[in-house]
A and B are shown apart, each in its own frame.
Chain A
Amino acid sequence: MPASEGALGKEEAVVRAEPRGGLAVAVWATLKRDLLLLLRRRSEVLNPLVFFAIVITLFPIGISPDPALLAAIAPGLLWVAALLAALLSLDSLFRADYDDGSLEQLLLTPQPLAMLALAKVAVHWLLTGLPLALMAPVLGIMLALPAGSYLVLAVSLALGSASLSLIGAIGAALTVGLSRGGVLLSLLVLPLYIPVLIFGAGAVQAAIFGDSVLAHLAILGALLALALIFAPLAIAASLRISING
């Protein structure tokens, strides 16, 4: 065998005993890459926001422009519409990577897959959940949302949509191998969204009635903490299952 070729020196292939570190480098690069990709395909970022705005516009037209009636249902409406808008954009979370082969490369890195998946979910929240939360108060005006609940609405959505992104990403990872996984994704994920919806909309209701909102926000925070711990592991496992199929 080519033992004599060892003279080639520095470029000689060396077998590594242990994987190198550099998790922070890999996570940062994944964040940067996904942000860059989404900023180059702006329609994917704008679509959920436009969807959110249009759905909210439909309610005063379809039900009644009566401010008293609208104000009563506004917290629930805003939350449900934001939740559906976030769901809409989930299907593409891993799909492009699956189609062009980068997903199998992601699975073959010596870095922990859960952390890299978490970076992808963070980008999704940053460009979907956060803009939805910032936009919601503006749409709240359209639904005659009582003053004093706008800040709570934005905060509850910002907290809650992070959980929604994390939970939804599990579904997106499970359905990425299916050619038409969109509907199945909704069926899988929507029931899991219920607790977040209850406490999110509850926080806004509490703000309207002048009750303390801290309890609701604290539970939303607790849900997010739980999702942050368990969802990345579930996403990584789901991705492995999808690639296996």
Chain B
Amino acid sequence: MSLRLQARNLACERDDRWLFRGLDLDIRAGEIVRVEGPNGSGKTTLLKILSGQLADYEGELFWNEQPMRKSRDAFLANLLYLGHAPGVKAALTPLENLAWYQALAGHAPSEKTRMSALEELGLVGFEDVPAAQLSAGQQRRVALARLSLTPRPLWVLDEPFTAIDRDGVAALERRLVEHARRGGCVLVTTHHELTPCAELRRIRLGGGGANAGI
């Protein structure tokens, strides 16, 4: 089975204003799709619709040729969504935070996997420090550790580069390309300029109904 996320004639209205209209998307395995647009152009909304969080939109969504309504469980089992808020509990340590995500994803608890995920993000030595004492960038890294903790083919990332330092950004960018080359798929919003590569596609939002599309 291949990976395919499609949207047909997608439209979303907020406060009497069309964020986008008539948007057709076809996202396949091996692609990095970057959603672009100025602030308030509906990037986060589009990502939330595509990850099945918002229901007040027009148009249709398809996962692997099946309507999203029917295949929601299969879709969620393949999805890793990192939102604008990192979803990291300030009172818990990075290890404890990841333990919950590991269990939610249906994986058996394994501290070794969690440690190696943290190691990848350069958080060794901070694994037992409450997240409240970590910097914003380190908290974001805890959230990003889920990328390797719970492998999923479809990544939907909302501003994943926020508060990450320059080396971290380069490493994460390499990680995205690597994921796409392995047959995964990345849907990302960012104001950071991604290095052009064969896998990268762009969707431009903004300008109400007049979408530049892909």
Instruction: Return B196 CB to nearest CB of chain A, in Å.
Output: 16
Instruction: Return A205 CB to nearest CB of chain B, in Å.
Output: 42
Pick from A18, A25, A107: contact of B77, CB below 8 A. A18
Given A33-B96, A109-B104, A104 and B53 touching (CB < 8 A)?
yes
How far is A20 from B51 in the complex, measured between Cα atoms in Å? 19
Tally inter-chain residue pairs, CB-CB below 8 A. 142
A11 and B182 contact, CB distance less than 8 A: yes
A17 and B91 contact, CB distance less than 8 A: no
How far is A33 from B180 in the complex, measured between Cα atoms in Å? 33
Residue A2 CB within 8 A of the other chain = yes
Kindly supply a per-residue 1/0 record for chain A positions 194-233, scoring 1 wherever the CB is within 8 Å of any chain B CB and 0 otherwise. Answer: 0000000000000000000000000000000000000000
How far is A26 from B104 in the complex, measured between Cα atoms in Å? 5
B84 and A17 contact, CB distance less than 8 A: no
Pick from B73, B103, B179: contact of A110, CB below 8 A. B73
Pick from A13, A28, A40: contact of B151, CB below 8 A. A13
How far is A96 from B132 in the complex, measured between Cα atoms in Å? 14
Residue B214 CB within 8 A of the other chain = no
Residues of B within 8 A of A243 (CB): 53
Residues of B within 8 A of A20 (CB): 77, 106
Residue B89 CB within 8 A of the other chain = yes
Q: Which single residue of chain B is at the shortest CB-CB distance from A107?
A: B53
Q: Which single residue of chain A is at the shortest CB-CB distance from B139?
A: A100
Kindly supply a per-residue 1/0 record for chain B positions 35-70, scoring 1 wherever the CB is within 8 Å of any chain A CB and 0 otherwise. Answer: 000000000000000011111100000001000000
A13 and B182 contact, CB distance less than 8 A: yes
Interface residues of A in 24-66 (CB under 8 A from B): 25-26, 28-30, 33, 36-37, 40-41
Q: Which single residue of chain B is at the shortest CB-CB distance from A29?
A: B103
Given A6-B183, A110-B76, A104 and B103 touching (CB < 8 A)?
no
Instruction: Return B178 CB to nearest CB of chain A, in Å.
Output: 9
Residues of A within 8 A of B74 (CB): 16-19
Instruction: Return B108 CB to nearest CB of chain A, in Å.
Output: 7
Interface residues of B in 154-206 (CB under 8 A from A): 179-185, 199
A108 and B79 contact, CB distance less than 8 A: yes
How far is A37 from B182 in the complex, measured between Cα atoms in Å? 38
Instruction: Return A94 CB to nearest CB of chain B, in Å.
Output: 13
Given A40-B91, A108-B53, A15 and B78 touching (CB < 8 A)?
yes
How far is A221 from B159 in the complex, measured between Cα atoms in Å? 49
Given A21-B106, A26-B104, A29-B100, A16 and B77 touching (CB < 8 A)?
yes
Residues of B within 8 A of A96 (CB): 89
Residue A1 CB within 8 A of the other chain = yes
Interface residues of B in 89-109 (CB under 8 A from A): 89-92, 96, 99-109
Residue A183 CB within 8 A of the other chain = no
Residue B22 CB within 8 A of the other chain = no
> Which B residues form the contact surface with A (CB < 8 A)?
1-3, 28-30, 51-56, 64, 73-74, 76-79, 81, 83-92, 96, 99-109, 151-153, 179-185, 199
